[in-house]
Structure 1
Amino acid sequence: MAENTIIHFNHVSKQFDGETILRDISFEIERGKFYTLLGPSGCGKTTILRLIAGFLEPSGGTIEFDGHSVNKLPPNKRQVNTVFQDYALFPHLNVFENVAFGLRINKLPNKEIATRVKEALHFVNLDGYENREIADLSGGQKQRVAIARAIVNRPQVLLLDEPLSALDLKLRTAMQSELRQLQRRLGITFIFVTHDQEEALAMSDEIFVLNKGKIEQSGSPRSIYDEPINRFVADFIGESNIIPGNMVRDRVVSFAGKVFDCVDQGFDENEAVEIVIRPEDLELKQRGEGLLQVRVESQLFRGVHYEIIGKDKDGNAWMIHSTKSTKLGEEIGLFFEPEAIHVMRHGESEEDFDRRLESYEGVCHV
């Protein structure tokens, strides 16, 4: 276990009424980083958060905090606070009393309470809001109050359970930036739960991608985006073109009826694989030019780019993101660099995937 580790899940499982929610998961959380638990509804991400907070006990395995098991430790004994999706603010208390609530429960002196509440409100840019009523606040301000109430107790870990989901798109984007800046100012560990992949990519130091109670892949946003381990991760993190292929030999792959140079290696010769090419890595060319030819079937304007769908002669659908427009039914060429091709092995575990990447580090586009 790394010296900087604050939380360690060691083969943790959780069942409810005979249904397995988490399946033998292990991971480490380091101090001072922003982590995101990302996945679809029902994948187990909120269950992990509740296990860390102490609202649930694991059915199997051990959860350690600073090297000590906390399986039986109640929530009020853990250096952890939670910001809930609905904020859980007290409508009959003003901003000051909402933030001060936990301090009053712990019977701190009034002078210290006033100092710490003022400090917490300053951290979340709510100076002067002490006497405001909760009903008079905007959604973004309510979220800041909830965060201030969570950090006023000076936890080592702050848990955030989809706290931005109720906000409109513009405010949500602004609050993503504010949360990231707040985490850096506080220097404490944030563990953030979301099903929004763009949110996870924008905010995180590290992401855990969950599916059906297990961690499919973990790593930095860039590594997960550029090197997805399987079809689920490639499809869930951003838009992807995923088509069947065949690994001819190291750094040579075939798909869509043609052979291409790539940068992947460590596969068996002629192994059946899956190919991922991101839409933004496809460059439009004139008919007859490029590496592949497709016929345009649809085009949508997305603001910063056109989203174009074309099909090749083998029936593979290709999504292209381009600032150039096309016409329905038009034949166009596609060009992509060898580095844009990512090859995935069927059924490869994250451990085997990492070992294969390490075997050619510096060659592959990690």
Structure 2
Amino acid sequence: MSEQHIIRFENVTKSYDQDTTVLENVSFEIERGKFYTLLGPSGCGKTTVLRLIAGFMEPSEGNIYFNGKLINKIPANKRQVNTVFQDYALFPHLNVFENVAFGLRIKKWKKQVIEEKVKEALRFVNLEGYEKREISEMSGGQRQRVAIARAIVNEPEIILLDEPLSALDLKLRTEMQYELRELQRRLGITFIFVTHDQEEALAMSDEIFVLNKGRIEQSGTPTDIYDEPINRFVADFIGESNIVPGTMKKDFVVHFGSKTFDCVDGGFNENEAVEVVIRPEDLEITSLEAGKLKVKVDSQLFRGVHYEICGYDEDGNEWLVHSTKKATVGTEIGLYFEPEAIHVMRLGETEEEFDKRLEAYEGAANEK
């Protein structure tokens, strides 16, 4: 394992009985000093991954390595990992200082060292001067900062965050996204963040693992995941998408919506059935003559910064459009899009197969 990889999962499965497998044959690596997000719907296995890293449970099969060392049997209190829970798990009878100092007192650090470390941790989370404040007197955002200070004061190599923003209102949640990202950059340690909120994942992460039914569907940077979804699940879960059936006529040419279009994807078989993805913001409302597709408007909602327009093409495919232009329900409009806006997905393709196809295609293109 490379020195830069701090965590490695090797064919890890977690089952509770013969009928309940929550994580199935999962392998991945976590690099040191990055912000990772485990993203997926409820029950997909993301919190299980977090608990396996923390040492709160052991894998049923496979191995987990920390800095190259097998840690399957290493208890939680022996790992250089701290967890920030969804409810923060603060002690209501202790003030801010004592909450942050709790772990250090358990380890029997000297009083002066504890005071210095707690004050430093509170400065990191912008709570300097709050040492004597009672937890009951803190806002939701402040409580979260206390929980993070308690995590970082022990100087862990990894901080695990289990949906810590879910209880906050929208404005505070957005503010805390920026604060958490900036804190991770200042600390320079690995953050592994669990959420089911795709906007949160896209905004905060260096890399995202998209989980579904105990498996990793796709991993990559936010841009990779958003622009190049591997399959329908990822395309549909990460943002809003128009997904329609199509046929790959040849490299760079795809047919859908009763028409044939130039695109930028290759490596498919001739006349292969595919799925085509176009994001709503990549569709431009234009005249019927200038449009590449003709759509009859079925509904329209104002979303503040744009109109959300829904319509259907001649084949009955539904199209969602985000536009600053208004449309009229019941009328036909033209939709224009660039070839780069079209993303073609092979049916049933895994991430590994996708990577191999892309590598083979790019290799053949370079040879030519």
Provide TM-score, normalisation by structure 1: 0.98
Residue deviations 1:272-315, cap 9 Å, x none?
A: 00000000000100133210000110011111111100111111
Residue deviations 1:85-111, cap 9 Å, x none?
A: 000000000000000000000000000
Deviation at 1:337, TM superposition (A): 0.5
Q: Is the 8 A contact 1:160 1:192 kept in 2?
A: yes
Q: Is the 8 A contact 1:288 1:332 kept in 2?
A: no
RMSD: 1.3
Change (3 A) 1:18 1:110: same
Give the aligned partner of residue 236 of structure 2. 235
Distance 2:84 2:117 in 1: 18
Is residue 149 of structure 1 aligned with residue 153 of structure 2? no
Where does structure 1 lack aligned partners over 5 or more consecutive residues?
none
Give the aligned partner of residue 29 of structure 1. 30
Q: Secondary structure at the match of 1:90?
A: coil
Q: What is the aligned-residue identity percentage? A: 74
Distance 1:171 1:48 in 2: 27
Distance 2:288 2:256 in 1: 20
Change (3 A) 1:38 1:86: same
Q: Secondary structure at the match of 2:245?
A: strand
Give the aligned partner of residue 3 of structure 1. 3
Distance 1:118 1:4 in 2: 30
Residue deviations 1:306-336, cap 9 Å, x none?
A: 1100111111110000011111111100001
| More deviation, 24-33/348-357 | 348-357
Distance 1:117 1:344 in 2: 51
Q: Is the 8 A contact 2:40 2:212 kept in 1?
A: yes
1:82-121 → structure 2 map (5 Å cutoff): 82-121=83-122
Give the aligned partner of residue 158 of structure 1. 159
Distance 2:129 2:315 in 1: 64
Give the aligned partner of residue 17 of structure 1. 17
Distance 1:133 1:355 in 2: 56
| More deviation, 345-354/45-54 | 345-354
Deviation at 1:17, TM superposition (A): 2.6
Give the aligned partner of residue 358 of structure 2. 357
Distance 2:332 2:2 in 1: 54
Distance 1:349 1:235 in 2: 16
Change (3 A) 1:227 1:363: farther
Give the aligned partner of residue 275 of structure 1. 276
Q: Secondary structure at the match of 1:159?
A: strand
Is residue 321 of structure 1 aligned with residue 319 of structure 2? no
Is residue 138 of structure 1 aligned with residue 142 of structure 2? no
Q: Secondary structure at the match of 2:50?
A: helix
Change (3 A) 1:163 1:131: same
Distance 1:144 1:94 in 2: 13
Is residue 254 of structure 1 aligned with residue 259 of structure 2? no
Distance 2:364 2:246 in 1: 21
Give the aligned partner of residue 307 of structure 1. 308
1:339-358 → structure 2 map (5 Å cutoff): 339-358=340-359
